[in-house]
Amino acid sequence: MTIQWFPGHMAKARREVSEKLKFVDIVFELVDARLPRSSRNPMLDQIVQQKPRLILLNKADLADPNQTALWTSWFKEQGYEVLAMNAKNDKSVKQIVPAAKKVLAEKLARDKERGIKPRAIRAMVLGIPNVGKSTLLNHLAGKKIASTGNKPGVTKGQQWLRFGSQLELLDTPGILWPKFEDPEVGKRLALTGAIKDDLLHLDDLAIDELGFLRRFYPEQLKERYKLTDEEIFQELPELLMLIAKKRGFKDDYERASEMMIIELRQGRLGRYTLDRFEEYTE
Protein backbone atom coordinates (compact mmCIF):
# COMPACT_ATOMS: atom_id res chain seq x y z
CA MET A 1 0.00 0.00 0.00
CA THR A 2 1.57 3.28 -1.17
CA ILE A 3 0.21 6.46 0.43
CA GLN A 4 0.66 9.97 -0.95
CA TRP A 5 -1.24 13.15 -0.12
CA PHE A 6 -0.33 16.71 -1.02
CA PRO A 7 -3.42 18.99 -1.27
CA GLY A 8 -3.03 22.19 -3.28
CA HIS A 9 -3.43 24.48 -0.29
CA MET A 10 -0.28 22.95 1.22
CA ALA A 11 1.90 24.07 -1.68
CA LYS A 12 0.55 27.58 -1.22
CA ALA A 13 1.12 27.40 2.54
CA ARG A 14 4.75 26.40 2.00
CA ARG A 15 5.34 29.53 -0.09
CA GLU A 16 3.61 31.72 2.48
CA VAL A 17 5.69 30.26 5.31
CA SER A 18 8.90 31.17 3.48
CA GLU A 19 7.64 34.74 3.01
CA LYS A 20 6.58 35.20 6.66
CA LEU A 21 9.69 33.80 8.35
CA LYS A 22 11.35 37.22 8.46
CA PHE A 23 8.63 38.46 10.82
CA VAL A 24 9.22 35.87 13.57
CA ASP A 25 11.94 35.29 16.17
CA ILE A 26 11.58 31.53 16.45
CA VAL A 27 9.88 28.54 14.86
CA PHE A 28 7.89 26.11 17.00
CA GLU A 29 8.09 22.78 15.18
CA LEU A 30 5.24 20.63 16.46
CA VAL A 31 5.95 16.90 16.16
CA ASP A 32 3.88 13.85 17.13
CA ALA A 33 5.78 12.17 19.99
CA ARG A 34 4.60 8.79 18.66
CA LEU A 35 6.36 9.62 15.36
CA PRO A 36 9.42 11.71 16.27
CA ARG A 37 10.96 11.22 12.82
CA SER A 38 8.07 10.34 10.51
CA SER A 39 6.00 13.39 11.56
CA ARG A 40 8.81 15.83 10.74
CA ASN A 41 8.60 17.45 7.32
CA PRO A 42 11.97 16.81 5.60
CA MET A 43 11.48 20.05 3.65
CA LEU A 44 11.38 22.08 6.86
CA ASP A 45 15.14 22.49 7.19
CA GLN A 46 15.24 24.00 3.72
CA ILE A 47 12.32 26.31 4.51
CA VAL A 48 13.34 27.40 8.02
CA GLN A 49 17.11 27.46 7.36
CA GLN A 50 18.94 29.15 10.28
CA LYS A 51 15.89 30.50 12.10
CA PRO A 52 15.98 29.47 15.82
CA ARG A 53 13.79 26.46 16.45
CA LEU A 54 12.06 24.78 19.38
CA ILE A 55 10.86 21.22 18.80
CA LEU A 56 7.65 20.37 20.65
CA LEU A 57 7.02 16.63 20.98
CA ASN A 58 3.25 16.83 21.36
CA LYS A 59 0.94 13.98 22.45
CA ALA A 60 3.69 12.67 24.72
CA ASP A 61 0.92 11.37 26.98
CA LEU A 62 0.06 8.85 24.23
CA ALA A 63 3.66 7.87 23.44
CA ASP A 64 5.91 5.24 25.00
CA PRO A 65 7.76 7.23 27.73
CA ASN A 66 10.99 5.23 27.32
CA GLN A 67 11.07 5.95 23.60
CA THR A 68 10.25 9.63 24.20
CA ALA A 69 13.20 9.94 26.57
CA LEU A 70 15.54 8.42 23.96
CA TRP A 71 14.27 10.69 21.19
CA THR A 72 14.46 13.78 23.43
CA SER A 73 18.13 13.05 24.15
CA TRP A 74 18.80 12.47 20.45
CA PHE A 75 17.28 15.81 19.40
CA LYS A 76 19.35 17.61 22.02
CA GLU A 77 22.48 15.91 20.69
CA GLN A 78 21.58 17.36 17.26
CA GLY A 79 21.61 20.84 18.79
CA TYR A 80 17.86 21.39 19.20
CA GLU A 81 15.98 22.51 22.27
CA VAL A 82 13.13 20.03 22.68
CA LEU A 83 10.10 19.80 24.94
CA ALA A 84 7.97 16.68 25.38
CA MET A 85 4.46 17.89 26.10
CA ASN A 86 0.69 17.50 25.90
CA ALA A 87 -1.09 20.46 24.29
CA LYS A 88 -4.17 19.79 26.44
CA ASN A 89 -2.24 20.04 29.71
CA ASP A 90 -1.65 23.37 31.51
CA LYS A 91 1.66 22.34 33.05
CA SER A 92 3.04 21.27 29.67
CA VAL A 93 1.91 24.39 27.84
CA LYS A 94 3.36 26.72 30.47
CA GLN A 95 6.83 25.34 29.74
CA ILE A 96 6.82 26.62 26.15
CA VAL A 97 7.70 30.28 26.81
CA PRO A 98 10.63 29.46 29.15
CA ALA A 99 11.93 26.94 26.59
CA ALA A 100 11.64 29.56 23.82
CA LYS A 101 13.52 32.10 25.93
CA LYS A 102 16.28 29.54 26.40
CA VAL A 103 16.61 29.15 22.63
CA LEU A 104 16.61 32.94 22.19
CA ALA A 105 18.87 33.68 25.17
CA GLU A 106 21.66 35.27 23.09
CA LYS A 107 19.25 37.46 21.12
CA LEU A 108 17.42 38.59 24.25
CA ALA A 109 20.75 39.43 25.92
CA ARG A 110 21.86 41.47 22.88
CA ASP A 111 18.57 43.37 22.84
CA LYS A 112 18.95 44.17 26.52
CA GLU A 113 22.50 45.48 26.03
CA ARG A 114 21.26 47.73 23.22
CA GLY A 115 18.50 49.10 25.39
CA ILE A 116 15.77 47.59 23.21
CA LYS A 117 12.51 47.42 25.12
CA PRO A 118 11.35 43.81 25.74
CA ARG A 119 8.41 42.67 23.63
CA ALA A 120 6.45 39.49 23.10
CA ILE A 121 8.29 36.60 21.45
CA ARG A 122 7.02 36.19 17.90
CA ALA A 123 6.83 32.57 16.85
CA MET A 124 5.60 30.58 13.88
CA VAL A 125 3.92 27.24 14.53
CA LEU A 126 4.81 24.61 11.93
CA GLY A 127 3.95 20.95 11.65
CA ILE A 128 2.27 18.34 9.52
CA PRO A 129 -1.52 17.85 9.77
CA ASN A 130 -3.08 16.50 12.95
CA VAL A 131 -0.12 16.97 15.30
CA GLY A 132 -2.18 19.24 17.56
CA LYS A 133 -1.43 22.81 16.43
CA SER A 134 -4.98 24.11 16.80
CA THR A 135 -5.38 22.33 20.15
CA LEU A 136 -2.23 24.06 21.40
CA LEU A 137 -3.40 27.48 20.23
CA ASN A 138 -6.81 27.08 21.83
CA HIS A 139 -5.28 25.96 25.10
CA LEU A 140 -2.92 28.91 25.19
CA ALA A 141 -5.81 31.28 24.61
CA GLY A 142 -8.17 29.56 27.04
CA LYS A 143 -10.89 29.55 24.41
CA LYS A 144 -11.58 28.26 20.93
CA ILE A 145 -9.77 30.52 18.49
CA ALA A 146 -8.60 27.91 15.99
CA SER A 147 -10.53 25.09 14.39
CA THR A 148 -9.67 21.62 15.65
CA GLY A 149 -10.63 18.17 14.52
CA ASN A 150 -9.54 14.58 14.18
CA LYS A 151 -9.30 15.09 10.45
CA PRO A 152 -6.09 16.47 8.96
CA GLY A 153 -6.12 19.74 7.03
CA VAL A 154 -8.58 21.64 9.26
CA THR A 155 -6.50 24.85 9.35
CA LYS A 156 -6.45 26.36 5.84
CA GLY A 157 -5.04 29.88 6.35
CA GLN A 158 -2.59 31.86 8.46
CA GLN A 159 -3.45 34.03 11.45
CA TRP A 160 -1.59 35.98 14.15
CA LEU A 161 -2.65 35.13 17.68
CA ARG A 162 -1.51 36.99 20.82
CA PHE A 163 -1.23 35.27 24.20
CA GLY A 164 -0.72 37.71 27.04
CA SER A 165 2.36 39.91 26.93
CA GLN A 166 4.95 37.20 26.29
CA LEU A 167 3.98 35.42 23.11
CA GLU A 168 2.57 36.06 19.64
CA LEU A 169 2.02 33.09 17.35
CA LEU A 170 1.57 32.84 13.62
CA ASP A 171 -0.57 29.79 12.99
CA THR A 172 -0.15 27.95 9.69
CA PRO A 173 -1.86 25.01 7.97
CA GLY A 174 -0.26 21.60 8.37
CA ILE A 175 2.24 21.03 5.59
CA LEU A 176 3.05 17.59 4.25
CA TRP A 177 5.61 16.97 1.53
CA PRO A 178 4.98 15.89 -2.07
CA LYS A 179 6.33 12.35 -1.81
CA PHE A 180 7.15 9.89 0.97
CA GLU A 181 10.46 8.28 0.02
CA ASP A 182 9.86 5.53 2.59
CA PRO A 183 6.41 3.87 2.26
CA GLU A 184 6.56 2.97 5.96
CA VAL A 185 6.44 6.69 6.79
CA GLY A 186 3.12 6.99 4.94
CA LYS A 187 1.69 4.02 6.83
CA ARG A 188 2.74 5.40 10.20
CA LEU A 189 1.30 8.80 9.44
CA ALA A 190 -1.93 7.14 8.34
CA LEU A 191 -2.16 5.15 11.58
CA THR A 192 -2.00 8.31 13.69
CA GLY A 193 -4.52 10.19 11.54
CA ALA A 194 -2.22 12.60 9.66
CA ILE A 195 -3.71 11.43 6.33
CA LYS A 196 -7.40 11.36 5.47
CA ASP A 197 -8.94 7.94 6.03
CA ASP A 198 -10.87 8.03 2.76
CA LEU A 199 -7.51 7.80 0.95
CA LEU A 200 -6.59 4.57 2.74
CA HIS A 201 -7.27 0.84 2.71
CA LEU A 202 -8.18 0.45 6.37
CA ASP A 203 -7.94 -3.35 6.40
CA ASP A 204 -4.32 -3.23 5.17
CA LEU A 205 -3.60 -0.53 7.74
CA ALA A 206 -5.14 -2.58 10.54
CA ILE A 207 -2.99 -5.57 9.62
CA ASP A 208 0.10 -3.32 9.77
CA GLU A 209 -1.09 -2.14 13.18
CA LEU A 210 -1.48 -5.72 14.41
CA GLY A 211 2.01 -6.64 13.22
CA PHE A 212 3.50 -3.64 15.00
CA LEU A 213 1.66 -4.20 18.28
CA ARG A 214 2.43 -7.91 18.31
CA ARG A 215 6.12 -7.16 17.88
CA PHE A 216 6.54 -4.31 20.37
CA TYR A 217 3.48 -4.27 22.67
CA PRO A 218 2.07 -7.83 22.74
CA GLU A 219 0.72 -7.60 26.29
CA GLN A 220 -1.26 -4.46 25.46
CA LEU A 221 -2.70 -6.17 22.39
CA LYS A 222 -3.65 -9.32 24.33
CA GLU A 223 -5.26 -7.35 27.13
CA ARG A 224 -7.34 -5.09 24.87
CA TYR A 225 -8.77 -7.88 22.71
CA LYS A 226 -8.72 -10.73 25.23
CA LEU A 227 -6.26 -12.82 23.22
CA THR A 228 -4.37 -15.89 24.39
CA ASP A 229 -0.67 -16.52 23.74
CA GLU A 230 -1.64 -19.01 21.07
CA GLU A 231 -4.18 -16.74 19.36
CA ILE A 232 -1.89 -13.74 19.08
CA PHE A 233 0.70 -15.58 16.98
CA GLN A 234 -1.55 -16.79 14.17
CA GLU A 235 -1.37 -15.24 10.69
CA LEU A 236 -2.27 -11.54 10.80
CA PRO A 237 -5.35 -11.70 8.51
CA GLU A 238 -6.74 -14.54 10.67
CA LEU A 239 -5.94 -12.54 13.80
CA LEU A 240 -7.90 -9.59 12.42
CA MET A 241 -10.86 -11.88 11.71
CA LEU A 242 -10.66 -13.30 15.23
CA ILE A 243 -10.76 -9.82 16.76
CA ALA A 244 -13.75 -9.00 14.55
CA LYS A 245 -15.60 -12.04 15.93
CA LYS A 246 -14.59 -11.29 19.52
CA ARG A 247 -16.03 -7.79 19.13
CA GLY A 248 -19.28 -9.11 17.69
CA PHE A 249 -18.62 -7.98 14.12
CA LYS A 250 -18.80 -11.55 12.75
CA ASP A 251 -17.00 -11.50 9.38
CA ASP A 252 -17.07 -7.71 8.99
CA TYR A 253 -13.30 -7.20 9.03
CA GLU A 254 -13.64 -3.70 7.54
CA ARG A 255 -15.63 -2.58 10.55
CA ALA A 256 -13.13 -4.29 12.84
CA SER A 257 -10.27 -2.56 11.02
CA GLU A 258 -11.83 0.86 11.51
CA MET A 259 -12.46 0.10 15.20
CA MET A 260 -8.87 -0.99 15.77
CA ILE A 261 -7.39 2.09 14.10
CA ILE A 262 -9.64 4.43 16.07
CA GLU A 263 -8.75 2.70 19.34
CA LEU A 264 -5.03 2.95 18.56
CA ARG A 265 -5.31 6.68 17.87
CA GLN A 266 -7.29 7.27 21.05
CA GLY A 267 -4.75 5.45 23.20
CA ARG A 268 -7.08 2.61 24.18
CA LEU A 269 -4.37 0.08 23.40
CA GLY A 270 -1.98 1.84 25.74
CA ARG A 271 0.97 4.12 25.07
CA TYR A 272 3.07 3.37 21.99
CA THR A 273 5.71 4.86 19.70
CA LEU A 274 5.72 3.86 16.04
CA ASP A 275 9.15 5.34 15.25
CA ARG A 276 11.43 3.02 17.21
CA PHE A 277 14.58 4.82 18.29
CA GLU A 278 16.73 1.70 18.06
CA GLU A 279 15.69 1.05 14.45
CA TYR A 280 16.57 4.58 13.30
CA THR A 281 19.89 4.68 15.11
CA GLU A 282 20.92 1.31 13.66
- Per-residue pLDDT reduced to its tens digit, 84-133: 999 999 899 999 999 999 999 999 999 999 999 888 999 988 888 788 88
The pLDDT of residue 272: 97
CB 134 within 8 A of CB 148: yes
| Amino acid (one-letter) located at 77 | E
Helix, strand, coil share of the chain (percent; to 5): 45, 10, 40
Which numeric CATH code is attached to 201-281?
Answer: 1.10.1580.10
- pLDDT (tens, 9 = 90+) of the chain, 282 residues, equals 444 445 555 566 677 777 888 889 999 999 999 999 999 988 788 888 889 999 999 999 999 999 999 999 999 999 999 999 999 998 999 999 999 999 999 999 999 999 998 889 999 888 887 888 888 888 877 656 654 444 333 344 456 788 888 998 876 655 655 456 677 888 898 899 887 777 678 899 999 999 999 999 999 999 999 999 999 999 999 999 999 999 999 889 899 999 999 999 999 999 999 999 999 876
Q: State how beta strands 81-84 and 53-58 pair.
A: parallel
The single-letter DSSP state of residue 36 is T
| CATH 1.10.1580.10 domain span(s) along the chain | 201-281
Selection from 145, 153, 94, 103 nearest residue 123 by Cα? 103
The pLDDT of residue 12: 67
CATH 3.40.50.300 fits 8-171, yes or no: yes
Q: What is the pTM of this model?
A: 0.86
| CATH 3.40.50.300 domain span(s) along the chain | 8-171
* Alpha carbon distance 210, 246 (integer Å): 15
